[in-house]
Amino acid sequence: MQAVILAAGEGTRMRPLTFTRPKVVLPIANRPILEHLFFSLKDAEINRVVLVVGYRDETIRDHFGEAWNGIEVEYANQRRQLGTADALKSASHLLEEEFLMMNGDAIVGAEDIRKIAERSGFALAVKEVPNPEEFGVVECEGRLVRNIVEKPEKPKSNLINAGIYRFSKEILEFVEKTPQSIRGEYEITTSIKMAIESGIEFEAVEIDEWIDIGFPWDLLKANSFFLSKIESRIDGEVEEGAHLIGDIIVGEGSVVKSGSYIEGPAVIGKNCKIGPNCYIRPSTSIGDGCHIGAAVEIKNSIIMNGTKIPHLSYLGDSIIGEKCNFGAGTKIANLRLDDKNIMVNVKNRVIDTRLRKFGAVVGDNVRTGINVTINVGTMIGDNVFIAPGAKVDGYVERNSKVF
Amino acid sequence: MCGIVGYIGFRQGDQVVISSLKRLEYRGYDSWGYAVANGKEIEIKKKVGSISAVEVKEKRAEGVTVSIGHTRWATHGKPSDINAHPHTDCDEEIAVVHNGIITNFSSLKNELISEGHIFRSETDTEVIPHLIERCYKDSKSFEEAVIKAIKFLKGSYAFVALKKDEKKLIACKYKSPLILGVGDGELIFASDVPAILEYTNRVIYLNDGDIVIAEPGKYRIINERGEVVRDIELIHWSIEDAEKSGYEHFMLKEINENPRVIEDTLGEYVTDKIELDPSFAAGISEIVIVACGTSYHAGLIGKYVIEKLAGIPVRVEYASEYNYHQIIPGRSLILGITQSGETADTLEALRAAKRMGLRTCSIVNVVGSTATKISDHVLFTRAGPEISVAATKSFIAQLIVLYIIAIKLSPLTRQEKKELIEELKSLPEKVQRILDKQHDIDEIAKKLSNFENIMYIGRGLGFPTALEGALKMKEISYIHAEGYPAGELKHGPFALLGENTPVVAVINRDETYEIMLNNIKEVKARESLVIAVSDDKDEEVDNFVDFAIKTPETLPILSPILHSVAFQLLAYFTARIRGCEIDKPRNLAKSVTVE
C-alpha cells in the first residue's frame, strides 16, 4: 500500500533547531524523526511512500533518496505550506486508488499502521488522551466519525485526531472544494467533514503507540523512549578503564577513552572522541563526529553531529545543534532554585514546559567562550557567538553575538 | 525586458504559466499571452494589458501538459493583441515565447516573406517560429529544426518553443536570462527565479549557447560541443525575496541594474558610431526640455552637456510651469523627458507645444505610453520596468540618451566623438566598481542618518548632480535635503550652515575644481561636516573634507553618471538606517498622472 507523508513544513515551534532543517529530520536516538516512522511503515508492509516536501527539502532527499530499505520513495513539492489539504493536492498526480496519509512529525507504531491500512474505504486514526482540548477532538457514533472539532473548550470525547488517514482517491473531489480555514490554510479535516456530510463513512480506528512531537522538549521524551528500546552494540573502540553500564551503542570509528563512565541507555554515533574521564548519563544521544572531552557531564540530552564539548562542561536536559563548539567550562543549568516549572520563549510566546528540569536549546554552529553560563530554558539561534564569561538567558536571535 | 515561462509536467499548464508570469510582472506588464499544445493543435490566448488580473479556470489536469507563456515589455512593435507573444509559424504548428532582441530580424523577415512566409506581427520574435518552420522541412526532429534555426539569429534571445503534437519543450539561451527549474516529474523554464519557486527550488542557471530539450520528467542540455551537464543549485529565497533577486528592496536591486541598463541603452544607439537619425533636430535654433522631478534633473544635466558639446542653446522647464511661460513659436524643439510616458504635466506641455506648431520629441522608458503617441519623435531608454518609486536606473538611462543626442548633434571631429563613445562604453564597468564598494557608502550614510538637514552643493555639471542627489535623499529618507549652486551659498544659505547641517559636495575635476575646494574651505570654517564625492585620482580633496566618496576616474563631462549612482546608494543606505519605507515613500506615487 501507499503512504503519503506530509513533510513540507518547517515546524516553527521547533526553532531555533529548524532554522537550518525541517522538523522531520531532527534526530531522536540518532535517527531523523521521519526515519522512525519509516521503520514502522516497513514493518507494516507499506512499500511506496510519497513524501510531500518543501522547506529545506534537500535534507530529506539526501537522507532517503529514491528508495529506503526497500520502500520506494517519491517526492511531491509543496513550496508554500498552505495546509494539509493543499499538501495532499500537490501529491495528487502520484496517488494510488487507495492510500494512507500521515504527518511526518509524529511517530506511529507498525501495528497501528497495519490496523488502519487493513480497513477498507475511509478511516481515521484516533487516540485517547487526557488533554483532548489541545487537539482536534473526534466525535463518533459507534465506529463512525461524526465530526472533528479543533481545540474545543468542552470536548465531547477524549479521542483526538492522530492525523493518520486512510483515503480513496475520491477524497480529492472534496480537497479541491475545500475552502480556506480561519487560520488561512486548506485543512484536510475540512475536506473530511465535507466528505462525511455528503454521506461518506469514515471509520474511527483507535491506535496505541503515537508520539506527537510539538516542542523541543518533546524531542527529549521521544529520545528517551527510543533509547529505552536499544540493545548494546559496540562497533567502535572502548579502551580499558572505560565503564559502560546498561545498553549503549558505540558507532564505527568512535573511541571511548579510559576513565569515561557511561550509563545507558545511550547512543554514540560514528567517529566520535569520548573521554577520557567524562560522565555520560542515561537518555543521551550523541551524533556523528562529536567530541566529548575530559570532565564533561551530560545527561538526558541530544547532541547533534560535529559538535564539540571538549573540557569541563555540564549539560543536562538540553538539545545542542550541529557543529557547535563549547569553550572550556561552558555550563547549562537545568533546574530552577525555586523548583518551579521551566518557562521557555517559543515564537515570542512564553510557554510552560511543565518540566521541572529542562536545560537549553542551542541551534547549529554556536560557539561559546570559556566559562559561559547558560540559564534554564534558554533558546539560542544558529551561528551565535558567546563571549567568555557571559551569562545567557531567554531567547538569543540567530547570527548574533553575546557579550 | 520581458518575462517568459515554459512548463511541462502533470499540473494544469495554462494555470501554471499564468501564475508564474504574475511573478515576472516586474519584467514587463504591457501585454501577455500563453500557448498550450494539446496534441492536435495549439491553443493560444494573448491580450494587451497587465497579467495581474488574469485567471484561468481550474480543471483536473489529465496526463502531461505542455505550455508556454509571456509577459511583455515592448521593444519592437507597440503593445497590442497581435504583437503579444506567443508567436507562431504560418500553420500555427509551432509557438515561441521570446525575451531579447533579434538584431537582424528585418533582413530575416524579408527573406522569409520572399519565401512565402506570412507574418502577422511587427515583432522581431516572429522570425523565430518561421525559421523553425523552414528548418523543420529537412530535419528529422523538432529539436534538430530549432538547432538549425538559431544559427541564423543575431542579437540576444532566451526563448521556449513548443510544437502542437509533441510532448516536448525546446529552450535556447543566448545573452538573455533563462533558468530551468527541476521539479519532481515536472520542468519549468523561466526568465527568473520567482516564477518557479511555487513548484521547485532546484534551479539550473543556463549558459549562453545552451539548448535544452525538455520531455516529461527528463531533460537534456546541449551546446555546440555536444551534451553538457549543468549543476543544480538550491534556492533558499522566499518567493517575495526572489522578486527582488534577493535584494532587500527594489530600489537597491534597480541601482544594481545600472551597469546593464547603461549597456542596453548604449546598445540601442551606439555601434562604433552613433546610430541616431538626427532629422528630429534638423534646423532647430534651441531645445526646450520639459520634465518633472528626477527627469527634470536629467534635463538640467542635458542642458550643460548639449550646450557644451553641440553648441545648441537649451532651456529646461518644469513641465508644470511650462504653460505659464510665453514660448514664441519658432524653430524650437520641445524635448519631453518622462520615464513612464504618462506624467500628466509633461504630456500637457507636449500637447501645448504641438498646438503651437512646435516640433516635439520624447525620451521615454515605456513603449506604447501616451508620450510615445503624441510626440513627433521618440527616443527610448532601455531601463526596463522600474518598481521603486524613487527613479534610479531610469535616470541614468535618460542621461545616456541625452549624451547620445549631444554627441550626435555636436560638431566634434570623428576622433573626438570616438573618444567620448569609448568612454561611455567603459561606464558599465566603472559603475560596477562603485556598486562593488557600496559598503563604504553605507558607512558614510551612518554619519548622515542622524541629521535632519543636508545641503548638497556643486558647480557646473556638479550643480544639477547635487540637485538630484538631494531629491533622492529627501524623497526616501525624509531628511530635508537641498541642492544649491556652490557659488550661491554666500548669498543666503550660509546662514543655515553649522554643525547641525552637513554638506555634500560634488567635486568635478574640470574648470570648477579649484573654486569648489575654496567653497568647501568656507563651509568647513562654519563647522559643517563635509562629505565630498570625487574621483579616485583626486587625493587633494581628502585634505579639505571629513569623508570622501571616490568614484572611478572618467571624463569630467561624464562624471554626473558616476556621481549620481553614488548618491543613489547614499540616499538608499541613509533611508535604510532610518528605517524608512524605501520602495514606496509616504505620499508619493511612481508616475504622476494628474496635473
Look at B318 and B330; give whichever has higher pLDDT.
Answer: B318
Res. B592: pLDDT tops 70: no
pLDDT class of B277 with cuts at 50, 70, 90: confident
Q: Is residue A34 part of a domain?
A: yes
Q: What is the pLDDT of residues B133-171, one digit of tens each?
A: 999 998 999 999 999 999 999 988 999 999 999 999 999
Contact yes or no for B58 and A58 at CB 8 A: no
Enumerate the residues of chain A whose CB falls inside 8 A of the CB of residue B198: 79-80
Same domain, A176 and A291: no
Same domain, A96 and A180: yes
Rounded CA gap, A264 and B48, in Å?
A: 72
Contact yes or no for B184 and A75 at CB 8 A: yes
Q: Is residue A300 part of a domain?
A: yes
Of B183, B234, B239, the CB nearest to A77: B183
Q: Which residues partner with B5 through β-bridges?
A: B69, B190
Contacts of B22 (CB under 8 A, 6+ apart): B51, B52, B54
Residue with cell 542557471: B205
Contact yes or no for B60 and A75 at CB 8 A: no
Same domain, A259 and A237: yes
Contact yes or no for B61 and A57 at CB 8 A: no
CB B539 within 8 A of CB B408: no
What is the distance in angstroms between the Cα of B239 and the nearest Cα belonging to chain A? 9
Q: What letters, b where the CB count within 10 A reaches 16 and e where it falls short, cover A135-174?
A: bbbbebeeeebebbbeebeebeebbbbbbbbbbeeebbeb
Q: Give the pLDDT of residue A102.
A: 95
CB A279 within 8 A of CB A203: no
Same domain, A238 and A117: no
Amino acid at A123: A
Res. B60: pLDDT tops 70: no
Q: What is the pLDDT of residues B361-406, one digit of tens each?
A: 999 988 777 898 899 999 999 888 788 889 999 999 999 999 999 9
- The candidate with the shortest Cα–Cα distance to B191, out of B243, B227, B146, is B243
Same domain, A246 and A384: yes
Q: Give the pLDDT of residue B33.
A: 93
Q: Give the pLDDT of residue B59.
A: 72
Of B60, B184, B201, the CB nearest to A76: B184
Q: Which CATH architecture has domain B244-429?
A: 3-Layer(aba) Sandwich (3.40)
Enumerate the residues of chain B whose CB falls inside 8 A of the CB of residue A58: 234
pLDDT class of B481 with cuts at 50, 70, 90: very high
Enumerate the residues of chain B whose CB falls inside 8 A of the CB of residue A79: 197-201, 239
Same domain, A209 and A254: no
The chain B residues in contact with chain A (CB within 8 A) are 10-11, 58, 60-61, 183-185, 197-201, 234, 236, 239
Residue B392 belongs to what H/E stretch?
none
| B244-429 matches B3-240 in CATH topology | no
Enumerate the residues of chain A whose CB falls inside 8 A of the CB of residue B60: 172, 176
The C-alpha cell that represents B288 in the structure block: 526646450
Q: Is residue A219 part of a domain?
A: no
Query: Which of A338-347, B344-353, B564-573 reaches the highest mean pLDDT?
Result: B564-573
Average pLDDT over residues B484-507: 91
Q: Which residues of chain A have pLDDT under 70?
A: 347
Preferred mutation among B184, B199, B238, B240 to probe A, highest tally of A CBs within 10 A: B184
Domain extents in chain B: 3-240, 244-429, 437-583
Q: Give the pLDDT of residue A324.
A: 97
What is the distance in angstroms between the Cα of B230 and the nearest Cα belonging to chain A? 18
Burial class (CB in 10 A: 0-12, 13-18, 19+), A319: buried
Contact yes or no for B198 and A79 at CB 8 A: yes
Rounded CA gap, A51 and B194, in Å?
A: 24
Q: What is the pLDDT of residues B247-256, one digit of tens each?
A: 889 999 999 9
Average pLDDT over residues B554-559: 95
Same domain, A196 and A229: no
- The candidate with the shortest Cα–Cα distance to A192, out of A169, A204, A175, is A175
Enumerate the residues of chain B whose CB falls inside 8 A of the CB of residue A176: 58, 60
Enumerate the residues of chain B whose CB falls inside 8 A of the CB of residue A80: 198, 239
Q: Give the pLDDT of residue A12.
A: 87
Rounded CA gap, B341 and B343, in Å?
A: 6
* Contact pairs from chain A to chain B, CB under 8 Å: 26
Same domain, A117 and A171: yes
Contact yes or no for B184 and A57 at CB 8 A: no
Average pLDDT over residues B61-73: 86
Res. B311: pLDDT tops 60: yes
Contact yes or no for B184 and A58 at CB 8 A: no
Final residue belonging to a domain, choices A214, A242, A267: A214
Enumerate the residues of chain B whose CB falls inside 8 A of the CB of residue A93: 10-11, 61, 185
The chain A residues in contact with chain B (CB within 8 A) are 56-58, 74-77, 79-80, 93-94, 172, 176
Enumerate the residues of chain A whose CB falls inside 8 A of the CB of residue B235: none
Protein fold of B3-240 = Glutamine Phosphoribosylpyrophosphate, subunit 1, domain 1 (3.60.20)
Contact yes or no for A176 and B239 at CB 8 A: no
ipTM score for this prediction: 0.70
Q: Give the pLDDT of residue B328.
A: 65
Res. B329: pLDDT tops 70: no
Contact yes or no for A75 and B200 at CB 8 A: no
Preferred mutation among A82, A93, A382 to probe B, highest tally of B CBs within 10 A: A93
Of A74, A80, A93, the CB nearest to B198: A80
**Domain with A8 in it: what CATH number?**
3.90.550.10
Final residue belonging to a domain, choices A189, A214, A239: A214
CB B79 within 8 A of CB B72: yes
Enumerate the residues of chain A whose CB falls inside 8 A of the CB of residue B200: 77, 79
Final residue belonging to a domain, choices A214, A235, A261: A214
Same domain, A354 and A259: yes
Q: Give the pLDDT of residue A262.
A: 97
Note the pTM of the prediction, 2 decimals.
Answer: 0.70
Same domain, A252 and A280: yes
Contact yes or no for A93 and B185 at CB 8 A: yes
Same domain, A311 and A390: yes
Rounded CA gap, A312 and B476, in Å?
A: 53
Q: What is the pLDDT of residues B398-432, one digit of tens each?
A: 999 999 999 999 999 999 999 999 999 999 999 99
Res. B593: pLDDT tops 60: no
Catalytic residues of B: 2, 590
Q: Give the pLDDT of residue B333.
A: 93
Contact yes or no for B239 and A80 at CB 8 A: yes
Express as a percent the part of chain B with pLDDT over 90: 65
Contact yes or no for A58 and B239 at CB 8 A: no
Considering its fold, how many domains does chain A have in total?
A: 2
Same domain, A54 and A92: yes
Q: How many CB atoms lie within 10 A of CB A372?
A: 24
Res. B238: pLDDT tops 80: no
In this structure, the dihedral spanned by the alpha carbons of residues A360, A363, A365 and A371, taken in order and rounded to 10 degrees, is: -20
What is the distance in angstroms between the Cα of B196 and the nearest Cα belonging to chain A? 10
What is the distance in angstroms between the Cα of A176 and the nearest Cα belonging to chain B? 9
- A93 is in which domain, residue-wise? 2-214
Look at B490 and B328; give whichever has higher pLDDT.
Answer: B490
Contact yes or no for A79 and B60 at CB 8 A: no
Protein fold of B437-583 = Rossmann fold (3.40.50)
Of A58, A75, A176, the CB nearest to B234: A58
